[in-house]
Amino acid sequence: MSTSMVRASSPVHVSWQRLLEPLAPEIDRILGQIEGENTAPSRELIFRALELDLEKIKVVIFGQDPYPTPGNAMGMAFSIPPEIVRLPASLRNIFQELESDLGVEKPVSGDLSSWERSGVLLLNRVLTTRVGESAAHANLGWQRITDFIAKELGSRGVVAILWGKSAQELSQYFEYQMSSAHPSPLSAYRGFFGSKPFSRANELLVAQGREPIDWSL
């Protein structure tokens, strides 16, 4: 395991450890800059999304940066721990679109781990922020790491769902992709609602001869 992953105390899958080894110095630099900060997600969850075996990823959903609300961020974009009762507004909008697109009844829990088990990587463009402050770490260099990840995923034919401007900066890496406004209440009515990302992602997978995602929660 690389020094970076040890410092973050995150259970990264071995497939990612090997891939990210060349970026270990850059990751160490970023982690050093946020040493001692009250981060969202907590330090041990920064790389939580990378517990998913690289070989099993069929779809990646890229978001912006983690929820700044205390306790909400869990290292998987848009997902919150099952014990959190109040859903963030972006997640409520995601569930509304899921119901409109596929008829999936709005879940009670905001934990999206079942999507992960079906082969969906949930990754933010920027992997950390400061608790209580959106985009606090937007200029630390996380984008270089997530650019590297996006390029690898694109080379594997992974379908990308890119929500928001910062996620759409990764479009160059993906042959199979769809973009829309971010599900935030500030932008959801500017193209997120009605974009049908879940059914469209499955259509792209089927066109490749791959199994579709089970989007039920």
CA 21 to the chain's CA centroid? 20
Question: Three-state secondary structure along the chain?
Answer: CCHHHHHHCCCCCHHHHHHHHHHHHHHHHHHHHCCCCCEECCHHHCCHHHHCCHHHCCEEEEECCCCCCCCCCCCCCCCCCCCCCCCCHHHHHHHHHHHHHHCCCCCCCCCCHHHHHCCEEEEECCCCEECCECCCCCCCCHHHHHHHHHHHHHHCCCEEEEECHHHHCCHHHCCCEEEECCCCCCCHHHCCCCCCHHHHHHHHHHHCCCCCCCCCC
Q: Which of 53, 65, 101, 111 is catalytic?
A: 65
65 flagged as catalytic: yes
Question: Are 10 and 50 in contact, with CB atoms under 8 Å apart?
Answer: yes
* Catalytic sites, residue numbers: 65
